[in-house]
Amino acid sequence: MDTIHILDTLWVGRPHAVASALLQSSGHRSLIDPGPASTLATLREQLQRRGLTVADLDAILLTHIHLDHAGATGALVKENPRLAVYVHSKGAHHLTDPTKLLASATRLWGTELPRLFGETLPVPSENLRILEDSQILKLGTRELAVAYTPGHASHHVSYFDEREGVAFVGDTAGIRIQNGAYILPATPPPDINLELWDASFATILARRPARLFLTHFAYAENPPEHLAEFRERLHHWAELAGQALLDSTGESAAAKNFVTAAHAEMVSKLSITDADHYAFTAGLDLSFLGMARYLRKRAQASTFTASPAE
């Protein structure tokens, strides 16, 4: 019997922040996005409730390598050395040697990094399985189609269980807590690219999933409506960040203005408590930094294209 379980990892004690998906099929057991290393104890408890341990797992499938999605991978492989780890080629080297990944995360999170994400261990190269676009993974009797879906991250993929009608889309479809009233963009640096993101929306819709599984958090219904709303907000937030940069003296002031405006939008749809939960899960200040970097790169590319040839 094929089953999909939502495992709430209770990131920093918060319910409905980071989900891992447990897939079972004919004795094969996989996790999609196991979460950060800081939630390993909770992940083990969630498995035990279903009569399983880490030793019973066969594979880890990563949508991308950001620490809130993939940080526990190395520790799980250390505990169960036969685990196969599926990842896009652009993320693979950061799993075998997470030095640059951790340096980048430290610049964003500072001294909070250990508390939020725990210890990120390397993954031996022999455990890695490099994914290809349009590849079909056979996990027991379950088949998952793989599609490259960049925009949020250059190494982002999505998985499609066409029999169940579920698309496991990581952060490509934003943050929406249990199909709630608001969809929040998560746009941390360094890879944000709205043009690629738009193409990824088309990739997901072409598969016609019945629902989306979001790491933050759980199922979102009506994918065409969800993605249309999310795309509109994503581009609106790019405009919001651009206006904040124009109106502010310095990036620090622009970030503050962006966060204030974004949070005001959220509380128009959500309670203050829920808005704060969304904001913490995404990191609104980090979303500004990612948007600002994207806007600068886009402006530089436009200037270069407009320059006359010598």
Convert the pLDDT of each residue in 243-290 to its tens digit: 999 999 999 999 999 999 999 999 999 999 999 999 999 999 999 999
* Surface-to-core class of residue 122, CB atoms within 10 Å of its CB (0-12 exposed, 13-18 middle, 19+ buried): middle
Q: Which is nearest to 217 in space by CA: 3, 4, 6? A: 6
The proportion of the chain whose per-residue pLDDT surpasses 70, expressed as a percent, equals: 97
Please state, in angstroms and rounded to a whole number, the distance separating the CA atoms of residues 57 and 70: 16
Could you tell me the pTM of the whole model?
A: 0.96
For the domain covering 1-132, report its CATH number.
3.60.15.10
- Examine the pLDDT at 302 and tell me if it is beyond 80: no
- In the three-class reduction of DSSP (H, G, I as helix; E, B as strand; rest coil), residue 154 is classed as coil
pLDDT tens sequence across 20-50: 999 999 999 999 999 999 999 999 999 999 9
The segment(s) of the chain belonging to CATH 3.60.15.10 are 1-132, 149-310
DSSP one-letter string for 23-64: EEETTEEEEE----GGGHHHHHHHHHTTT--GGG--EEE-S-
Please state, in angstroms and rounded to a whole number, the distance separating the CA atoms of residues 48 and 18: 18
| Reduced DSSP (H G I as helix, E B as strand, rest coil) percent helix, strand, coil of the chain, to 5 | 50, 20, 30
Query: Thinking of the domain 149-310, which architecture would CATH place it in?
Result: 4-Layer Sandwich (3.60)
